[in-house]
Amino acid sequence: MTAARVGNGARLSAQPVPDGGTPTQTWVDAGLQLPELDLTTCRELVVVGAHPDDETLGFGATAALLAESGVRAQIVSATDGGAAYPELSLLQRYRLEQTRREELRRAAGVLGLYAPVSLGLPDGQVAAHEQRLADLLVEILDGKPPGTWCAAPWRGDGHPDHEAVGRAAAVAVEQTGAVLVEYPVWMWHWARPGDTAVPWGRAHMTRLTEAALERKQRAARCFESQFTAPTPGGEPVLPPAVVHRLLTVGEVAFR
């Protein structure tokens, strides 16, 4: 493995999800002025997520735009997200994995993408299977046309699974010649505008259409299991403030 271990896990840990993190309005008021992401160079798109919903919340509208323009686009999910609620029994976890695979399938359809591929790696333990993931991504990307993009979570996103998937994707593109595009998800939670931990010099923003944003919003609603806690009084994985932020700030990619 040759991908650099950037790592912002401590930053994410210091901002517990229920506490809300950086307010949406802080990002809106910042008015990020970033170069536009040039979608015309993408011949084919493979969107890799650590868990079902990462691809939609981080890159869904961009993927929908590309698919609408005729680009073949497909989601690859490293895990089935069964560890989202650690208190679940083994049977409940299995059922959650089944649910999340179906949610991902529906979301891909809403975005206009091909049927997703689920790799079934252990949720919460992707770093321990990083080489295996890189090998699987090489198999998927090998033989794709020049100009194929591999969009993956940013290697500095903070969540250990996201960062491991990003590193594996970086290795895979080195071996296949695909183009690495990194999208943040949890960065919006722990970072702030101008944060020096974020590589703003590599950042680009997609010019999104109303139609693409509407598709993203509808696709996000497919992941109902993440918005509702499975036990009374429990906390959902994605509180409303987190979802609202991800649907409001736009889509940034690091090139």
Average of per-residue pLDDT values in the chain: 95
pLDDT at res. 6: 66
- What pLDDT was estimated at residue 4? 58
Sign of the alpha-carbon torsion through 108, 228, 8, 216: positive
Terminus-to-terminus CA distance in the chain, angstroms?
Answer: 20
Amino acid 51 reads: H
User: In sequence order, what are the residues at sequence separation of 6 or more whose Cβ sits closer than 8 angstroms to the Cβ of residue 63?
Assistant: 45, 47, 55, 73, 75, 111, 113, 151
Q: How large a percentage of the chain has pLDDT more than 70?
A: 98
Indicate the pLDDT class of residue 46, thresholds 50, 70 and 90.
Answer: very high
pLDDT at 156 over 80: yes
pLDDT of residue 168: 98
pLDDT reported for residue 86: 85
Amino acid at 25: Q
pLDDT for 146 equals 96
77 pLDDT above the threshold of 80: yes
Q: Give 84 or 179, the one with higher predicted confidence.
A: 179
pLDDT surpasses 60 at 2:
no
pLDDT of res. 179: 98
Read off the pLDDT of residues 167-220 as tens digits, 9 standing for 90 and up.
Answer: 999 999 999 999 999 999 999 999 999 999 999 999 999 999 999 999 999 999
pLDDT at 1 over 70: no
**Domains identified in the chain and CATH numbers:** 36-254 (3.40.50.10320)
Angle between helix axes 210-220 and 90-111 (nearest 10 degrees) is: 160
Band (3; pLDDT cuts 50, 70, 90): low
C-beta atoms surrounding 11 within 10 Å = 18
Which tokens go with 3? 């991908």
pLDDT of residue 187: 98
Q: Among 94-103, 119-128, 227-236, 240-249, which is the least confidently predicted range?
A: 227-236
- pLDDT at position 228 is 87
pLDDT tens per residue, range 17-34: 988 899 999 999 999 999
Return the pLDDT at 234. 79
Quick one: pLDDT at residue 20? 86
**Mean per-residue pLDDT for 78-100?**
92
Cβ neighbours around 182 below 10 Å, total: 26
- What would the 3-class secondary structure string for 153-198 be? ECCCCCCHHHHHHHHHHHHHHHHHCCEEEEECCCHHHHCCCCCCCC
pLDDT, position 230: 79
Task: Give the dihedral sign, CA 230/236/238/240.
Answer: positive
Query: What sign for the dihedral angle of Cα 178, 190, 64, 99?
Result: positive
**Distances, alpha carbon 75 to alpha carbons 33, 48, 161, in Å:** 29, 6, 16
In which residue are the tokens 């307010």 written? 23
